[in-house]
Structure 1
C-alpha cells in the first residue's frame, strides 16, 4: 500500500520492512552521526559504571586523594597563602556541600573541593605551628641546651639535638628552639643539660636542584641551625625527674646492648635497625648492596615491619587462645588478638624511634586492627583512605616525601590487585590435586604470591624511585623472591620473640636465629648486587611526568569497574615524558659557590672545589665513570680562575679573583663565582654570590641547539624559588 501523495522522490530514502519491502521516508545515519551515537552510548555506559562504583562507596577513596592533593598543592605554591583565606574557602565549600546535600543532589563535587581546600589548610596550619627563629649567618660562641636526641652513625661522627637553647650574644627571640650539633667526643646523657662552645650555621639546602633538602627536613623537625662543637659538651645539670623520652631511649639502648651481646658483626647492626630503629651502625657496603638489590625497604621501619610484628602477635595470640575450647567458643578471640596486636604495635612504635615512616605505618595498622573490632575487612582500600586522612592531617608535609608516596601507592596497588584476583571468573571443574602435586602446590603458590606481590609493588613504586633517587633496581624481583620469605617467616618473627624473651634473659636463641636469617638476607643482597647491570640510573625528569604516572596508578587502583583501564593512558604518557625529557645536568654549582661540576667536550663530568670522597663529590659523581677518559680535558686553573671547555662550544669560568672578570666576562658564556660579579659582565649566565644567596644550588642543562643551529639552548634550574617559603629560611649572603 502506497502512502498518499503518490510516489516518493528519491531524496526521501527507503528502509526495508520486516517482510523485506522498502519503507520510504528514511535516511540511514551517516558516519558522523553513527560516531555520535556510539560516543553517547559509551558515555552512558561509563556513567553506569561510575554509579555502580559509587554505590560500592568508592567515592570515599577519591576524597582522601583530594585531601592529600590539597596538602601537596599548598607546599608547591609559588608563595605563602593567607590562612584566613584558606579557612574561609574551606568553610564556604563545606556549607555549599551541605546545602546541595539537603536539596538532594550534586553534593559530591563540592565535598571533593572541600577536602582539597581542607588539605591545603592542614598544610598551612602545620607550617604555622612550626614557625620558629632560624640562624641566618654563621656564628660561634658558648651555648647551653638540653639533650633530647642522640644519633650514632657508622663511619661518621655522632650528633645530638638540643632544645631549650641559649646562645651567647644572641637574643632569645632570635634563638632557634632546637639545634643539631656534631661531636667528636663521647655522647652526653639524654635529658641532661649541657654547655659548650660551638660553631653554628644556617641549615644547608639541596646539593642540586630537585635533590634532598636538609633544610626542609630540619624545619619540620623543629631544628633551626646545625653546627659542630669545639671540644666537648659539659654536663651542667644531670637528668632529673621522669621524662618519657629519656625512659624510652634507655629501653632502646638496653635492647641494642642485648642484641650486641648476643650476636656480632653486620647481623647485629641490622637487627638493631629492625628492632629499635638504630641504623647508625650498618656499614655503607651493606646499605649499598641492599639498595642495589631492591631490599633497602627492609632497613626502614615501615608498613612491612609493623605488619610483620603486629601480624605475628595477632597470629600467636589467636593461636594460643584457640588452644582453649572454652575461650574459642565463648570469647571473641579475634578481637582480643587484635587488641594485643595493637598494643604490641604501639610498643614497637615507641622503641623504634618514632620517625615519620613508622608513625605512618602504625596509623595504617591501627586502622586495620580497629576494623577487626568493628567486624569489617581489615585490609581494604577504604581503610587505606582513612589512614591517609589521619597521616596527612597530622603530618601534611609527608605527602611530598618518597616514603609516603611509595608506601601508600604500593598498598593501594596490592589491595587493588588482590580485589581483581578475588573477583576473577573461576572454573572449579578440575580435579583436586593429590599426592605429590598437592604437596608441591603450597610452596609453589607461596613463591608465586611473593613474586606477584613484589612485581605489583615494584611497578607501583618504580616511578617514585626513579624520580627521587635516580635509579632503579634491575633485579629487585629476584632479590625480594630470595630475601622476603626469610624476612617474613624467620627474621621478624624471631625478632618479636626475642623482645618478648628479653625481660626473662632468654633472648640469645631467638636473636641467634634472627642473625642467621639476616646473614642469609645480606648474602643474597650482595649476590644480586654483584650481577651485571644490577642498577639502572635514571636521569632527572620533570615533576609533571611523575604526576601523570602516579595519577595513572591511582586511577588503576581506586576504580573497580572497567573505568580503571583509563588509567593506562596517563601512565604511558608520563613514562614517555620521563624518557623524552629526562636529562643529566651539564653544570652543577653548590649553594655556597665553592664547588662546581661541569662536563667537558667529551661529556665527562669534572668537579672542582670539592675533595674526592666528600658527600658533595660523591652525589655529583654518582653514576659517572670512575676514572677520567684518556686525554679528557679538565679544568685549567691558575690563581685567578678555573676554565673548562664544554660541549656546543661553550666555555665555563670559575672565577676566584676579581681580576679575572675583565677577561672572562667577555670570553666565557658561563661565569661561576663566590664573589659579586660586575653589573656589566657580558657572560650569558652569571652565577655569583647574590644569585647563590637568593636561589641556592644551580644546575644548567644544554638542551639542544637553537633554531639557527649556532646558539646552544641552555636551561637554568635553581633549588630555591624567588619568593621563599617558611621552610626555606631567609636568604643570606655567605
Structure 2
C-alpha cells in the first residue's frame, strides 16, 4: 500500500480481501472477526483462502440422503424441492453476509440430498413379491454368471403365471443347476421357486432387500426342473440387446482367461479383468479375506486407476517415440483423453456395478483436471466425484463400497504428503545405490498409503463385516506390487491381444503372478489371529468416527486437530459395545439368546447364513454348525427354554401345547405362532408381531426392554410386558391352530450378495 508521500507499507491481513470470493462480498465481510487474533480465526481464514469450504457441500448432501433413509414412510417430493428453492433464494438474497450465505448453501445441499433420495427411489420403483411363490415364468435372460455349481441368471420377466401384471417383478434372480447353453439375450421359460428379497437378518445388518430394490430385482430363488428356450412374443428392446451383448462378451472372455490359467488362479484372474467372481472357489475367497486383500477381486478404484494409468502410459510412450509429435503436440493431454476413453470402455465391459461406476467418475475427474491444467489429485476433485456419485445413486452412501473407498482416498490425499519428507538431493555413488533408493521410496510409499487407507477404513469394515484383518498391511505390501507391476498391465495387454487370438501367453504370465498373490495370501492368512471378529459398531460410534475422519481430511489448517474429539468419543464407544440379548429371525424360524455364560445360545432352525450374521454382530467367532451353540438350550418337541445370566427365563415355543406352561413361568416368549390372549404377565413376540416388524432384537434391562426391529426401529417398553407386541385380534383369531413345520425362508448363502468392500 502506497501513501501520498510515495512510501510503501505492508497491507494488514485484517484489511485484505480474498480474490477468489465473489465481488459482492468485497465490502461487507467483517474481516475484523478474522484478523488473526486467536487460533480459531486464523484457521478459518486459512480455510477460506484455500477454498476448503467446498468439500463440505457433498458432506451436507450426504446428510440429506441419510435423513431421507431415516424418514418413516414415503416423503413427498415437493417438500425438499420447495425447501431447496427457498434456501437457495435466501442464499442469493443474503450473499453479502458470508456467514448467512454459507449456512444457506449448507441447507440447500441438505435439501438437495433429500430430494435426490426421493427422486431415485421413485424412479426405480417396481413390484416385488410379497410371499413365497412357485410359478411358471418366461422372459429374457439379461445376465448370466457362471458358478462352481451351475449358473445364476438375471431374467427380465414378461410372463408370470397366476401373478397379476401389477404385482409381477420386473427382474428376478434365479440359480440353475444345469444351465449349459444358456446365454444372455435368450428367451426362456420354466418353473421357478421365488421368494421376496430377504431383509436384514438383524437391525443394522446387511439389507439385501434394499439393494435388490434399487437394482430393480423383485424376487430371488431357483429354477425347478428344465429351463427351455422358446421364441419370444416380441423382440427385446435395444437396452436389453446391448446388455446381453456386453454380458456374453464378458462371459466368453472370463472362460478364456480361466481356462488359459487354470485352477483357482484362473478364477481370480478372470475376476480381475471382467468382474465375474463366480468361478473363484470359496476357500480361495477365504484366503484372500484372511490376508486383507479381497478388494483386489472387486473392480474398483485400484483396477480403474491401474487400467487407466496403463492406457495413459502406453499412449504417451508411443507418441513420445516421434520427436515432432512429442514437441508440437500436447502429448500429456492426448494420453489423458485416451485414458478416459479406455477407462469408460473398461467400466462398461466389467459390468458397470456401483463400485465400478464410482471409480470411473473419480478417474474421469482426475484426468479431466489434467485436460484443463488443474491438479489431478485434490480434495476438491474428490468432492466433485462424491457429488456426482451421490446424485446418481444416493443409496450408495449406505454401502461399504462408497464409505471405504472415499474414506481411504480422502485420508491418503490429506495425510500421506505429511508422512513423507523431501529426500536430500545428492549424487548417488553407484547405479545400484540409485536403484536401492528408488526401491526404498516405492516401498515406503506403498506401506504408507496402505497404512493410512487401512486405518481410515477400519471403522467401516468393523460396522459392515464385523471383522478386521490385522495383517492386511503385510498382505497388501507383498501382493499389491505384483498386482500393479504384472497383473494389471498384463490384463490390459491381454484384452488388446484378445481380438487377434494372441492373448493366451499373456494370460499365463498374469496367472503366474496371481498364483504368487494367492501364495502370499495363504501365508499371511495362516498367521494366528489373521481374522479378528469384533462386535458390530453402533450407529453412534460409526457416525462419530466418520465425523472425525471428515474433520481430519478436509481442513487444510490446524482445525483438523478437532477431529480428536469425535474420534476419541467414537473409539470409547467401540470399547464398550452394547450387545443385544436376543436375536429373533424375521419369520420366527429361530432365535439366538444370551445364556448364563454370556454367549449366545441357538434355538429353533434359522438358516446358517442368518446364524452367522447374528454371531458376527455379537463378536462371536464360532461357526453356525458349532455344537456349543445348543448347549445352554433345554429343548423338547414343543420348544426350548434358555436361562439368561440374570435368571430370567426365555422360552422359544414351537407348539401351542407349550403356551400354558411357558406363559406362567417364562419372562419372555418368542414364537412364530399366534400367542393366546390369556398369556398375561409375560413379554411376547409372536408371529403377528414379527410379520409387522421383521427381524427383531431385544436388549433386556432391569426395568425395561429395548426392542429394535428392521421395519419399526427402536421401541422401549416396560416390564412385565406390553401387549402392543401382539397384534390386536378377536378371541376367535387367537384360537390355537395345528402346529406346522417351520418353512425354509432364507436363501442359501450363495444367493446373498457378499457386499465385500472395494
TM-score higher than 0.5: yes
- Count how many residue pairs are aligned between Structure 1 and Structure 2: 676
Determine whether 1:543 maps to 2:536.
Answer: no
Structure 1 residues 209 and 167: CA distance shift in structure 2, 3 A = same
Structure 1 residues 292 and 106: CA distance shift in structure 2, 3 A = same
In structure 2, the residue corresponding to 1:615 is in which secondary structure? helix
How much has 1:602 moved relative to structure 2? 2.2
TM-score (norm 1): 0.87
Structure 1 residues 140 and 320: CA distance shift in structure 2, 3 A = same
Show the 5 A alignment for 1:53-132: 53-101=47-95, 106-132=100-126
Show the 5 A alignment for 1:494-509: 494-509=490-505
Aligned-partner Cα distance in 2 for 1:64–1:293: 33
Match of 1:308 in 2: 306
Determine whether 1:189 maps to 2:183.
Answer: yes
Aligned-partner Cα distance in 1 for 2:237–2:560: 57
Show the 5 A alignment for 1:92-241: 92-101=86-95, 106-154=100-148, 157-186=150-179, 188-237=182-231
Match of 1:719 in 2: 710
How much has 1:433 moved relative to structure 2? 4.3
Aligned-partner Cα distance in 1 for 2:196–2:372: 50
Match of 2:324 in 1: 326
Match of 1:728 in 2: none
How much has 1:369 moved relative to structure 2? 1.1
Aligned-partner Cα distance in 2 for 1:641–1:44: 68
Q: Deviations over 1:219-277 (max 9, x none)?
A: 00011122322212222226778611121112112211221232101111001111001
Structure 1 residues 427 and 217: CA distance shift in structure 2, 3 A = closer
How much has 1:101 moved relative to structure 2? 2.2
Q: Deviations over 1:306-328 (max 9, x none)?
A: 00100111112111111110111
TM-score (norm 2): 0.84
Show the 5 A alignment for 1:370-449: 370-420=368-418, 431-435=426-430, 437-449=433-445
Give the conservation status (yes or no) of the 8 Å contact 1:73–1:120: yes
Match of 1:461 in 2: 457
2:604 to 596, 609, 616: 609
Give the conservation status (yes or no) of the 8 Å contact 1:610–1:617: no
How much has 1:567 moved relative to structure 2? 1.0
Q: Which moved more, 1:267-276 or 1:190-199?
A: 190-199
Match of 2:288 in 1: 290
Determine whether 1:593 maps to 2:591.
Answer: no
Q: Deviations over 1:394-438 (max 9, x none)?
A: 00110111110110011001111244357x7x695x755433543
Give the conservation status (yes or no) of the 8 Å contact 2:644–2:650: yes
How much has 1:281 moved relative to structure 2? 1.1
Q: Which moved more, 1:246-255 or 1:94-103?
A: 94-103
Structure 1 residues 691 and 55: CA distance shift in structure 2, 3 A = same
Determine whether 1:484 maps to 2:480.
Answer: yes
Match of 1:555 in 2: 551
Structure 1 residues 240 and 117: CA distance shift in structure 2, 3 A = closer
Give the conservation status (yes or no) of the 8 Å contact 2:34–2:45: no
How much has 1:621 moved relative to structure 2? 4.3
How much has 1:722 moved relative to structure 2? 6.2
Unaligned runs of 5+ in 1: 1-38, 724-730
In structure 1, the residue corresponding to 2:177 is in which secondary structure? coil
How much has 1:73 moved relative to structure 2? 1.9
Q: Which has the larger radius of gyration?
A: 1
In structure 1, the residue corresponding to 2:95 is in which secondary structure? helix
Match of 1:673 in 2: 671
Give the conservation status (yes or no) of the 8 Å contact 1:184–1:231: no
RMSD: 2.6
Aligned-partner Cα distance in 2 for 1:194–1:653: 48
Aligned-partner Cα distance in 2 for 1:209–1:78: 15
Aligned-partner Cα distance in 1 for 2:606–2:51: 58
Give the conservation status (yes or no) of the 8 Å contact 2:34–2:42: no
Match of 1:696 in 2: 694
Aligned-partner Cα distance in 2 for 1:40–1:217: 47
Aligned-partner Cα distance in 2 for 1:495–1:527: 25
Give the conservation status (yes or no) of the 8 Å contact 2:143–2:244: no
Give the conservation status (yes or no) of the 8 Å contact 2:447–2:473: yes
Aligned-partner Cα distance in 2 for 1:97–1:625: 56
Q: Deviations over 1:571-592 (max 9, x none)?
A: 1111111212x14433222111
Structure 1 residues 158 and 721: CA distance shift in structure 2, 3 A = farther
How much has 1:74 moved relative to structure 2? 1.0
Structure 1 residues 372 and 175: CA distance shift in structure 2, 3 A = same
Q: Deviations over 1:189-248 (max 9, x none)?
A: 211222222232222111222111111111000111223222122222267786111211
Structure 1 residues 661 and 267: CA distance shift in structure 2, 3 A = same
In structure 2, the residue corresponding to 1:196 is in which secondary structure? strand
Aligned-partner Cα distance in 1 for 2:596–2:533: 22
In structure 2, the residue corresponding to 1:106 is in which secondary structure? helix
Determine whether 1:527 maps to 2:516.
Answer: no
Q: Which moved more, 1:620-629 or 1:661-670?
A: 620-629
Match of 2:649 in 1: 651
Give the conservation status (yes or no) of the 8 Å contact 1:185–1:231: no
How much has 1:684 moved relative to structure 2? 4.1
Unaligned runs of 5+ in 2: 1-32, 715-726, 728-742, 746-758
